């Protein structure tokens, strides 16, 4: 795989404007100044999933049905206005999402990572950084304050950058998180199915 430079990114974006299914790159909304030498800056959206202490003692995917039934006890989705701020405390994990909607073609994958400025404050923006070919949606951000003092975040801040890779060969992508327009609760029931299949194979 090779990283797309600014020139190649602009070419792929032009292909995306042509509207042919599975061809070209779409990132919207997008301004030209977001495109760097080999990456695209992305903004923080205004929806968050906040984790909170609850009466449940753990999250166990082997009992995912129970976990999903009680998800409201330990996770809450909040939306703030674009003029408000969100305070991320040290050690806190919050799910956010990019303001931009991204549609990757069948021959481009991506990774998302933090921008250097925010990394120096202790902000981690993603723990699951790989984005598969043909992904479509706003990208979920796993926001963690790894610093010592609270960070004040605002919708519209450029907190992330997208690195795009040309893949060898084409493939399709299927995911329960496809077409998301904001952060989504983790679908632990899917992991439970994989776990059960693995256990059956080992028996």
Closest Cα partner for 147 from 196, 88, 106, 201? Answer: 88
Tell me which residue of 85, 76, 82, 78 sits closest to 29, measured CA to CA. Answer: 82
d(CA 100, CA 40): 11
Active site includes 12?
no
* Segments in 61-179 forming alpha helices (H): 64-69, 71-74, 116-119
Options 12, 18, 65, 142, the catalytic residue: 142
Buried b (16+ CB within 10 A) or exposed e, 95-110: bbbbbbbbbbbbbbbb
* Residue entry with tokens 């923006």: 125
**By three-state DSSP, how is residue 178 classified?**
coil
| Residue 153 dihedral angles phi and psi, to the nearest 5° | -110, 145
* Catalytic residue set: 142
């Amino acid at each position: 795989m090779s990283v797309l430079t600014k020139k190649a990114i602009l070419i792929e974006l032009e292909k995306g404007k042509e509207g042919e299914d599975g061809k070209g790159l779409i990132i919207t909304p997008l301004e030209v100044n977001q495109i760097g030498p080999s990456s695209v800056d992305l903004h923080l959206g205004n929806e968050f999933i906040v984790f909170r202490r609850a009466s449940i003692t753990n999250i166990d995917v082997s009992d995912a049905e129970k976990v999903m039934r009680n998800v409201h006890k330990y996770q809450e989705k909040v939306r703030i206005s674009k003029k408000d701020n969100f305070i991320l405390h040290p050690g806190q994990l919050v799910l956010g999402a990019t303001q931009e909607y991204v549609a990757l073609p069948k021959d481009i994958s991506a990774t998302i990572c933090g921008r250097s400025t925010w990394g120096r404050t202790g902000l981690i923006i993603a723990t699951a950084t790989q984005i598969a070919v043909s992904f479509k949606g706003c990208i979920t951000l796993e926001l963690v304050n790894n610093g010592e003092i609270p960070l004040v975040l605002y919708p519209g801040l450029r907190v992330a950058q997208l690195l795009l890779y040309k893949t060898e060969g084409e493939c399709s992508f299927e995911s329960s998180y496809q077409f998301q327009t904001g952060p989504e609760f983790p679908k632990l029931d899917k992991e439970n199915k994989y776990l059960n299949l693995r256990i059956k194979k080992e028996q």
